[in-house]
Structure 1
Amino acid sequence: MNAIWIVLPILTLLMFELGLTLQTADFKLFCKRPRPIIAGLAGQIILLPILAFAISYAFRIEPLFFIGVMLIACSPGGSSSNIFSMIAKGDVALSVSLTAFSSLITLFTLPIIMEFILHFIGNTPDISVHLPIGSLIVQNLVLMLFPIVTGILIKHYRPTTAEKIHKVLSKAAFPALILLASIFFIQHHTTIAEQFSKLGCCIFTLILLAMSGGALLSKLMHLRTKEVRTLVIEIGMQNAAQAIAIASSPFVFNNDIIAIPAIIYALLMNVILLVYVGIIKNYSN
């Protein structure tokens, strides 16, 4: 079974569901409260790729996994982060805005950073990986931008219909991501088991440092408690479905091995954030 035909519809639905939650006010939040938006985007667009590069280099992971980890770091915020922010009593409006902005900005930053990474790694007789920039841009436009815009238009012109669809898709988003990761995990369980000690530690470290970076940026920008919680979640939770889709897509990398870091990331990310939310809820009570 070629799992890519499950990945692509799931990613499209997740982006459509994100669009259903967006409204003009989400983009105007930058004008009203620029500091948390700037801090969040700095964490996602700048800090996270730097951390991923440094950690991957320090762990000396294999080139294909190196590409996969960087692909995670270059992806936008995950759509499930809005739900985690709500449960953690964070700033949901900020979470939605950051996910929206990062989804648009990474359409441009992801190809640039990944092209640099491929040049840094270089091709060897054993590994030859090429990034078709045109195909990547087209795939992101079709699977991400178009569904988001469609969701926004339905939200604007048919708000009642949008709300009904959102109620269904919001409940399916998290299970869909876990299903996606599980399918790849089953298909590549041998490779994952062999590499999990080093690769798992690498990704675990990345998530913890990303969340810590979110907290640090929040403190530097003197943000409120709700905003701090949201940035910790937003910077720690990236769109693993997009990373898997780009890695395994026959139009881009067409390499399931590159998708393995995103699979491990999806599983660890949700566990770590559930623990984080649990600690916050206990602390708040």
Structure 2
Amino acid sequence: MNTVWIVLPILLVLMFQLGLELDRKAFAGVVRHPRGVAAGALGQLVVLPLVAFGVALLFRLDALFFMGLMLVACSPGGSSSNVFSMLARGDVALSVTLTALSSLVTLVTIPLIMEAVARFVALRSDAAIELPVGRLLVQNIVLLLLPMACGALFRRRFPARAQRLHALLGRIAFPALMLLAALFFIQYADTILENLPTLGAASLLLILAAMAAGRLLARAFGLDRAGSRTVVIEVGMQNAAQAIAVASSPLIFNNETMAVPAIVYALVMNVVLLLYLKAVQRRDARRAVQ
């Protein structure tokens, strides 16, 4: 069974859910929170791919895993980051703005970066990986832009229903992603377990480096505590479902081995961010006592 037929509906639901959060205020956040948007966008769109490239070189990943890790880093922010930002007492409006902005910008940046990475991988090894840029762009528009637009239109036309539907999808989204990870793990258990030490360590280093970079960027741009937490979460939390969809899609790479880094990243990412959430909640509790 090709897991792409599982990940595609999940990705569509996630992007529709994000669209339900979008209104004029979300994109007005670019004007209201320019420093936060600049810090988050710089971290997500520039720093994270560069860090991932360095990590892939450091761990000497083979061609398919190299491409897979880069796909994760080039993907937009995960929609669950908005929930994590809320639980961490971050700036939820900034989180929504950054997630929406990265989902739009990566329509262009994913093909550009991944084409360059494919050429580098071809030079570095004998593996020639062809990237159909046009089909990738079309797939991203269909899977990212259109469901977001439909969600935003539904919110505008039926605001009360949109609020109820968003709450429902919010409860479904995380379990759906975990189900996808579990099914993928079962189907490719041998490949995942064989490479788990390397990919797990690479994913952990990438996430920690991304979150540290987010913290440094937040400090450099003079963000407050809420903004800083949001940028840390946004830079560290990627849309793994998008990376899996690109890797396993029959229209693009049609290679589920390339999707393995995204699955490992998703599992490690949620553990690390849950620990981060626990840490900031304990810190807030200590401050409240003092």
Could you report, residue by residue, the CA deviation over 1:28-65 in whole angstroms, capped at 9, with x for unpaired residues? Answer: 11112200000000000000000000111011111110
2:187 maps to which residue?
Answer: 187
Alignment-derived partner of residue 35 in structure 2? 35
Q: Distance in 1 between matches of 2:9 and 2:139?
A: 12
- Note if contact 1:123-1:129 (Cα within 8 Å) is conserved in structure 2: no
Counterpart in 2 of 1:76? 76
State yes or no: 1:221 paired with 2:221: yes
CA drift at 1:128 = 3.3
**Aligned counterparts, 1:128-147, within 5 A:** 128-147=128-147
**SS in structure 1 opposite 2:37?**
helix
Q: TM-score, normalised by structure 1?
A: 0.98
The answer as to whether partners of 1:14 and 1:79 remain within 8 angstroms in 2 is yes
Alignment of 1:1-285 (within 5 A): 1-122=1-122, 127-285=127-285
Task: Indicate conservation of the 8 Å contact 2:121/2:127, yes or no.
Answer: no
Which residues of structure 1 form unaligned runs of 5+?
none
Structure 2 portions without partners, runs of 5+: 286-290
Deviation of 1:199 (Å): 1.4
8 Å CA contact 1:56–1:69 kept in 2: the answer is yes
- The answer to whether the 8 A contact 2:80-2:174 is kept is yes
- The root-mean-square deviation of aligned C-alpha atoms, in Å, is 1.1
C-alpha distance in structure 1 between counterparts of 2:95 and 2:31, whole Å = 16
Cα distance in 2, alignment partners of residues 198 and 209 from structure 1: 16
Is the 2:95–2:234 Cα contact (8 Å) retained in structure 1?
yes
* Deviations, residues 204-241 of structure 1 (Å, cap 9, x unaligned): 10000000000000000110000000001000000000
CA distance in 1, matches of 2:55, 2:47: 12
CA drift at 1:164: 1.5
Instruction: Give the secondary structure class of the aligned counterpart of 2:90.
Output: coil
AA in 2 matched with 1:237: M
Partners of 2:264 and 2:124 in 1: how far apart? 26
Query: 1:33 corresponds to which letter in structure 2?
Result: H
Identity of aligned residues (%): 52
Conserved 8 A contact 1:67-1:118: yes
1:59 and 1:4 mapped to 2: Cα distance?
27
The 2-side partners of 1:119 and 1:138 are apart by 21
TM-score, length of structure 2 as denominator length? 0.96
Helix, strand or coil at the partner of 2:253: coil
Shift of 1:198: 1.2
Distance in 1 separating the partners of 2:125 and 2:153: 49
